[in-house]
Amino acid sequence: MKGKMSAGEIAEALYHFPNVEHLSDAQAKARAIPFGCKTEFGNINFESAVRNRSAGLTVYVGSDAVKQKKLNPRQSEILKEVPDTLRKVQRYLDRAPLVCVERTMGDNPDFSPHCTLYVSTYRKDCARLSYMWGETLLPYRPTAAGPDLRLIYVPEWPEAKRQILVFPEEGVTFVLGSDYMGEAKKGFLRMAMWYAKQEGMLGVHAGAKIIQARNPKGKLRTYSMLLFGLSATGKTTHSCHTHGLDHEGEEMMVVQDDVCFLRKNGSALGTERGFYLKTEGLDPHTQPLLYRGATQPDTIFENVMVDWEGRVDFQDETITSNGRGVVQMADLAPHACDSINLPSLDELDALLLVFITRRNTVMPMISKLNAEQAALAFMLGESVESSAGDPTKAGQSVRVVGTNPFIVGDDAEEGNWIYEFIKSHGEKVQAYIVNTGGVGEIRERQPDGTTHVKREVNRIQIPETSAVFRAIVRDQIEWMEEPFFGTQVPRQIEGADMQRFDPGEYYSREELDEYVNALKRERREYLEKFSDLDPNIVAACKT
């Protein structure tokens, strides 16, 4: 490559370079397999040096429409050095050994991006990246309509200079110094969500499913469901759970696990055929569908604990708590949907938006929301820090708009989009907050900044949360006003002891007011940074 080139020009030029080897599916697999170890399930486990996304080293480059509003000191340095970094990358890619794999994201006639992955195999073991990533998307379809997206991995880039450079408007991402497969998966989805927004859609970081359930009159009703949730809230668990729907004709079909493109008619375009699931704590009793899918011979593990005899231990977090598995949607049969897309509202009884949070004090187990409250829940994208991360932050609130760390552009625009969408469809779009945490926890701040748990949370278990989902889709809930947040809550739910999750059973009235007021105050302060957010959404926080 001669002369100064833009990110897009560098990526486009690579395709025909003599040092780029274009791999078939069989070739990609053959290159990868020698670097993995075989497990008791007959599948392969790979190891990466980097075991999480490098979010704090990720920078969006382009016009003001895509630039991040807030950067940490290292991100600021990375952004300042972009021209010099691109020159070095351009020069290096002229000489490095590269493999290339092409895929199509989505399976629809309107928006199915063409995705091209380049991986430097200077480190031979990094050939696994092309194989693993290739198993998440669909085979390349030359006639598919959609933007061209490219991502280039250089895992051997100096560790001190590790960075992820995202050029959303050019459809290009450079992953420098990381060999974590999640960078490719999320890198392509991030760029695709930006392009989807330009087409009038909303990219949502949510699981998707279709449910058929009988109401109290015995009528079979069909719902689509989008489940929003940050890491460790149970989004994947409940996206792939049958909820004990066992009446005649009832069924649950998994559609997607991670990202969909929501359209204004209520349909949603899926993206993937293989799900990149967290395997931490995977259990055959409480998560039978996920466990069965994850233990198939065609699943690909990454950083999962496998002993010298090939035995897998999903409970062992010695290596990392972020073990992963690429699980084929087909392996979730008989609960895998034939389509990766959700139908439009005119084919459904309703679309259910479920915002999954994990809080441990005063949030109800389940709350029904009006349009303003639903848009507020979307903007708040709420959960709490666990002690597994930074102990000094345990119990503190975590908020990410849309539970989507991959938004490019204005966050408020996305909140306003979802608000108008919900309003425009009336009762055909219903919204709920489901708390998978619990109630009753009391924490005390220590002099060293950590917190001490004075009273443990009364934890909501997976079967109880499933009872909540079952009651929603069977329309078995009698709703009443919730006194603190202005939402509606159930009087009772079959299969869940509502009294056990009543905050009033654990706190005095004074303590309740203190927790509720502190949470509302946090939320109001958080919303102040979204100047273009519809005032009706902001007002919902004041009730």
The pLDDT, as a whole number, for residue 231 is 80
Mean pLDDT of the region 181-195: 98
pLDDT at 16 over 60: yes
| CA pair distance 251, 245, nearest whole angstrom | 6
Alpha helices in 326-410 (DSSP H): 371-380
DSSP letter assigned to residue 248: T
Strands (E), 338-476: 350-357, 366-369, 382-384, 397-399, 429-435, 438-439, 442-445, 451-455, 458-459
Nearest-5° Cα angle at 380, 238 to 420: 90
The pLDDT, as a whole number, for residue 393 is 66
Q: What is the CATH number of domain 203-270+348-542?
A: 3.90.228.20
Are 275 and 269 in contact, with CB atoms under 8 Å apart? no
The pLDDT, as a whole number, for residue 1 is 63
Element spanning 235, H or E: helix 235-239
pLDDT tens figures, 274-333: 999 999 999 999 899 999 999 999 999 999 999 999 999 999 999 998 999 999 999 999
Residue 195's contacts (CB-CB under 8 Å, 6 or more residues apart) are 111, 113, 146, 147, 149, 171
| CA pair distance 36, 448, nearest whole angstrom | 43
Residue 458 token pair: 């009364």
The pLDDT, as a whole number, for residue 200 is 98
Residue 120 token pair: 């430097």
pLDDT tens figures, 111-154: 999 999 999 999 999 999 999 999 999 999 999 999 999 999 99
Cα of first residue to Cα of last residue in the chain, in angstroms, is: 60
| CA pair distance 150, 8, nearest whole angstrom | 9
- The burial class, CB within 10 Å (0-12 / 13-18 / 19+), for 320 is middle
The correct CATH number of 7-199 out of 3.40.449.10, 3.40.50.10320, 3.30.43.10, 3.30.230.10 is 3.40.449.10
Please spell the DSSP secondary structure of 498-536, one letter per residue. GGGG-GGGTS-HHHHHHHHHHHHHHHHHHHTT-TTS-HH
- β-partners of residue 366 are 434
**Mean pLDDT across the chain:** 94
The pLDDT, as a whole number, for residue 495 is 86
Mean pLDDT of the region 252-274: 97
The pLDDT, as a whole number, for residue 397 is 84
| CA pair distance 456, 293, nearest whole angstrom | 33
Are 302 and 323 in contact, with CB atoms under 8 Å apart? yes
Give 394's pLDDT tier (boundaries 50, 70, 90).
Answer: low
State the pairing for strand pair 37-38/44-46.
Answer: antiparallel
Is residue 222 helix, strand or coil?
Answer: strand
pLDDT tens figures, 376-393: 999 999 987 754 545 556
Mean pLDDT of the region 498-522: 92
| CA pair distance 451, 524, nearest whole angstrom | 24
Give 445's pLDDT tier (boundaries 50, 70, 90).
Answer: confident
The pLDDT, as a whole number, for residue 261 is 99
Mean pLDDT of the region 445-468: 87
Mean pLDDT of the region 183-201: 98
DSSP letter assigned to residue 375: H
The pLDDT, as a whole number, for residue 374 is 98
pLDDT at 395 over 80: no
Mean pLDDT of the region 479-502: 91
| CA pair distance 539, 543, nearest whole angstrom | 7
| CA pair distance 344, 347, nearest whole angstrom | 6
| CA pair distance 338, 332, nearest whole angstrom | 11
The pLDDT, as a whole number, for residue 444 is 85
CA distances 192 to 2, 203, 256, 276, Å, are: 29, 8, 16, 17
Residue 509 token pair: 């009235």
The pLDDT, as a whole number, for residue 481 is 95
What is the SS3 assignment for 150-183? EEEEECCCCHHHCEEEEEHHHCEEEEECCCCCHH
The pLDDT, as a whole number, for residue 396 is 78
* Domain regions of the chain by residue span: 7-199, 203-270+348-542
Is residue 214 helix, strand or coil?
Answer: strand
State the pairing for strand pair 58-60/163-167.
Answer: parallel
